[in-house]
Amino acid sequence: MSGEKKRVHSIDPATIAKHFDAAGAEQRWDAEWEKRGTYRYDPSCSRAETFVVDTPPPTVSGSLHIGHVFSYTHTDVVARYKRMCGMNVFYPMGWDDNGLPTERRVQNYFHVRCDPRAEPEPGLSLSPATAKQRKERPRLVARNDFIGLCHDVTREDERSFEDLWRRIGLSVDWSQQYATIDSRSRHLAQLSFRDLFEKGHVYNTDSPTSWDVDFQTAVAQAEMEDRPRPGAYYRLEFGVEGSDRSFVIATTRPELLPACVGVTAHPDDERYRDLFGKSATTPLFRAPVPIFASELADPGKGTGVLMVCTFGDATDVHWWRERGLALRQLVGRDGRLASVTFGSEDFPSSDPDAANRFYAELAGKNVNQARKRIEELLRDPAGSATGSGAPLQGEPEPIEHAVKFYEKGDRPLEFVPTRQWFVRLLDKKAELLAKGEQIQWHPSFMHARYRDWTEGLNLDWCVSRQRYFGVPIPVWYPLDGAGGRNYDRPLVAEREQLPVDPTSDVPVGFNASQRDQPGGFTGETDIFDTWFTSSLTPQIGSHWALDPERHARLFPADIRPQSHEIIRTWAFYTIAKAMLHENCIPWHHVVVSGWVLDPDRKKMAKSQGNVTTPMPLIEKYTADGARYWSASARLGTDTTEDEKVFKIGKRLATKIFNAGKFVLSQTAEAGPIEAEIDRAFVAELHALVVRATRSFEEFNHAQALTDTETFFWTRFTDSFIELAKVRARSEEDPVGRASAVAALRLGLDVLLRLFAPFLPYVTEEVWSWTFADEKGEPSIHRASWPGEADFASAPAPSDAESFALGISCWNAINKSKSDAEVSMGRGVARLSLAANPATLERLAPVLGDVLAGARVATHTLEASPALEDGAFQISDAEFEERESAT
């Protein structure tokens, strides 16, 4: 830039609005960016030139809240930085409409139920159900028709999300959209299953599985949560066969007594040692059950001896398998106690009549009802296994204990034997952990979440769900001559066949007439766990098996933004899938945002009823203001919704607008940057660029913002502009004037670009005034990130500290004005400035600018060796009269 004349425009400030019209700018630039394709992904670029974002697809049936603005802004800031660094950014948007929330919403909205067996009605389109319709039975619709209705309902939700994303300026490429239930996602999910099947990673088995009795579906380990629940220890007296002995078992689930298949205690427990190998007799039902020793029994819990039921908990399942115990399944899929007959082979009893009499009181009841009733029965001495009075010893002792629930469920999970499909993961913990090591986690401690979860895994991934809406499992089963299903030879759809719906499509080698006929086939009606599809978001973006060339340009992705509570699901499963399919990691970085807390520091959640909708905040504080609040938060740190911070962001945008207006309205041509204070300012600016760039590279955008913001206020607007202002308009010093204008413009130019990822609107606005034209880059968001090239021609200052020194001196003069209670603009007729000799000497090159900025007419310098380096003392200041100030 030095020497040569640049084509520089100044603006006429009169043509610029007095105040920044943020709302207008937001609307204008969003349309302009779309029109220009500013954020368009270029599919011709190689993987190395591309920065790939694995955008989290928001649950479209969820409500919009300020937390969405928060975390998506974090991602956008990174995407914008990378784009300015010259990367071809792939930043898609997905919509998560696969799964229960949408299923429920569609059911209510249209008053329909999905039924895979229903006749398809192509082109089905419904109106929202009327009150009258709601009183009737829900209409049954086929799966694909249900999916169509889902699109109808979610389109509206998607629009409101898109409105928000556009309003806050997400630099998403809107031509890259997908939905987790759309045909490509379904296709890829089924291809994923086919691939896992071919590689031997999936299996189906009939075994006790965690089951939600309300949703009536199997649930995976990752979807369970413990909730503290009140319960009670019921002390029940058991008999010992062929002996007078008895013992007492403490149980919290007396209703499972009829399902008791064994009794166990710790092998070293003296109290029960003599019982091992014998048979116990259960109270009420008089069932003989084996007594065995197990290390898993805790002598300190309850009475130290416990009953094994099918099934009370995971340990019961373990003992049942290990010991080959009987199966006496009581709780059915609906959560009610089944009808069983004591005295049969499966339910032995030494007194079947009494047992059946007691059980008749329980059959058909749900778990809670059965517990209440059996407590009463257990008070009846007639039920004793020993003839020594009521089986219930004393009163139940209330306790609070943890009970497993489906995270979306309302009643405790039960173990119910069902046939399910699983992805084998338990035997791959070590590889999964190794993959986690290859990924960079931001902040790094989030890696521990992944590690803990993976190490603690104790079940394979149950991927089948007994729901109706979702991606069908592409499998049929051959039927034998008697119509029995052969689960060991599943007919998994061929790759070329996909996508399929096995309830309407036909496996290769069969024809439609053989459906559900002996010797024919039957279609799987189960669907996939929604995570089975969501774990493929990087592959959905890259089109994976459907377009290997594109896949190679987009996979693995660079960043996966997400929140920490779904590390065990979304992150974990995505890593597992990439590993099982291609033995690689799905992305290089996981970027974890914290949560937004309400002003009382509680997590903002729809269920808590404390969510803040974002639009009013954006309208009040502008999109840039909302983004400022978001970007101020470090990754992984929970952040309080604090309007004060929004306000600061809005103020910052206004200040940038005004500073831009001032700098760009300087009419003089820019020239070489020669004045010492200009050079020193530029040197500090350069250092800022280095710091901010490093912060971005470390995924510490909050630091980059803080540094840029601090510099902008304290070094640029509050000081450099003030100190260079007079010279920038000086008629007598054309060289100094050109230098000042150049430095001011460079400062604005660089700071605008440093702010651009955070405040896309105001920076684009100011950029558009003259820089867009001068630099031939219509959008700041496509301009280059500041770097060495911007400073190549700026000579170093003779003293790196001279700008700082000038500011100190200027501040000292300001303080004297403040002390005298005169305005900063007041002229100073004369003053005496004291500093130590070395400081005075170093101040000399910038003193002229300082005195001009402070409007000092005459001054005297005083060398005071006693003063510290860099300290200034002002005395004998005489201020001009207000009227005489010019």
Partner RNA sequence: AGGCACGUAGCUCAGUGGGAGAGCGCCGCCUUGACACGGCGGAGGUCGGCGGUUCAAUCCCGCCCGUGCCUACCA
CA dist 279 → 242, 250, 272 (Å): 8, 18, 12
- How far apart (Å, rounded) are the C-alpha atoms in residues 718 and 724? 11
Q: Is 480 in the site for RNA (CB under 7 A)?
A: no
Matching residue, tokens 């949703």: 215
Cβ atoms of residues 498 and 194 within 8 Å? yes
Q: Is 725 in the site for RNA (CB under 7 A)?
A: yes
Q: Which residues contact 360 (CB under 8 A, 6 or more apart)?
A: none
Element holding 422 (H helix, E strand): strand 414-423
Instruction: Report the nearest approach of RNA to the CB of residue 187 (Å).
Output: 31
Q: Which stretch binds RNA (CB under 7 A): 50-58, 159-167, 613-621, 632-640?
A: 632-640
Sole binder of RNA in the list 7, 19, 35, 135 (CB under 7 A): 19
Sole binder of RNA in the list 665, 693, 864, 873 (CB under 7 A): 665
Enumerate long-range contacts of 39-44, CB under 8 Å, 24 or more apart: 39/83, 39/89, 39/91, 39/171, 39/172, 39/173, 39/781, 40/173, 40/175, 41/88, 41/89, 41/90, 41/91, 41/92, 41/173, 41/175, 41/176, 42/88, 43/550, 43/553
- How far apart (Å, rounded) are the C-alpha atoms in residues 69 and 169? 10
Considering the complex, state which of residue 232 and residue 585 has its C-beta at the smaller distance from RNA.
232
Cβ atoms of residues 54 and 538 within 8 Å? yes
Instruction: Report the nearest approach of RNA to the CB of residue 847 (Å).
Output: 18
Considering the complex, state which of residue 117 and residue 401 has its C-beta at the smaller distance from RNA.
401
Q: Which stretch binds RNA (CB under 7 A): 226-234, 328-336, 739-747, 756-764?
A: 226-234
Kindly identify the residues of this chain, within the stretch 86-145, that bind RNA according to CB under 7 A.
Answer: none
Q: Which stretch binds RNA (CB under 7 A): 77-85, 217-225, 755-763, 771-779?
A: 217-225
- How far apart (Å, rounded) are the C-alpha atoms in residues 538 and 667? 51
Kindly identify the residues of this chain, within the stretch 688-717, that bind RNA according to CB under 7 A.
Answer: 703, 706, 710, 713, 717
Cβ atoms of residues 741 and 668 within 8 Å? yes
Considering the complex, state which of residue 521 and residue 646 has its C-beta at the smaller distance from RNA.
646
Q: Is 315 in the site for RNA (CB under 7 A)?
A: yes
Kindly identify the residues of this chain, within the stretch 273-312, that bind RNA according to CB under 7 A.
Answer: 297-298, 301-302, 304, 306-307, 312
Distance of CA 48 to the CA centre of its chain: 26
Sole binder of RNA in the list 139, 151, 603, 691 (CB under 7 A): 603
> 414 has which bridge partners?
211
Kindly identify the residues of this chain, within the stretch 537-566, that bind RNA according to CB under 7 A.
Answer: 564-565
Considering the complex, state which of residue 364 and residue 456 has its C-beta at the smaller distance from RNA.
456
Instruction: Report the nearest approach of RNA to the CB of residue 759 (Å).
Output: 14
**Alpha helix ranges (H) inside 699-834:** 701-710, 721-728, 734-755, 760-769, 771-775, 788-791, 802-819
User: What amino acid occupies position 849?
Assistant: D
Instruction: Report the nearest approach of RNA to the CB of residue 398 (Å).
Output: 11
Sole binder of RNA in the list 286, 655, 686, 842 (CB under 7 A): 655
Count the alpha carbons within 13 Å of 172 in the hemisphere toward its beta carbon: 27
CA dist 350 → 248, 329, 356 (Å): 20, 20, 11
Instruction: Report the nearest approach of RNA to the CB of residue 58 (Å).
Output: 19
Q: Which stretch binds RNA (CB under 7 A): 37-45, 95-103, 441-449, 754-762?
A: 441-449
Q: Is 371 in the site for RNA (CB under 7 A)?
A: no
Q: State the SS3 of 519-586.
A: CCEEECCCEECHHHHHCCHHHHHHCHHHCHHHHHHHCCEEEEEEEHHHHHHHHHHHHHHHHHHHCCCC
Binding residues for RNA, how many (CB under 7 A)? Answer: 91
- How far apart (Å, rounded) are the C-alpha atoms in residues 328 and 323? 14
Query: What is the contact mask toward RNA in residues 796 to 835, using x (rule: CB under 7 A)?
Result: ---------------x--xx-xxx-xxxxxx---------
Considering the complex, state which of residue 615 and residue 648 has its C-beta at the smaller distance from RNA.
648
Instruction: Report the nearest approach of RNA to the CB of residue 183 (Å).
Output: 32
Instruction: Report the nearest approach of RNA to the CB of residue 773 (Å).
Output: 21
Q: Is 770 in the site for RNA (CB under 7 A)?
A: no
Considering the complex, state which of residue 166 and residue 727 has its C-beta at the smaller distance from RNA.
727
Q: Which stretch binds RNA (CB under 7 A): 11-19, 350-358, 613-621, 781-789?
A: 11-19
Sole binder of RNA in the list 74, 186, 404, 467 (CB under 7 A): 404
Q: Is 620 in the site for RNA (CB under 7 A)?
A: no
Pairing outcome for strands 587-593 and 557-563: parallel
- Angle CA(28)–CA(55)–CA(754) in degrees, nearest 5? 55
Q: Is 867 in the site for RNA (CB under 7 A)?
A: no
Q: Is 23 in the site for RNA (CB under 7 A)?
A: no
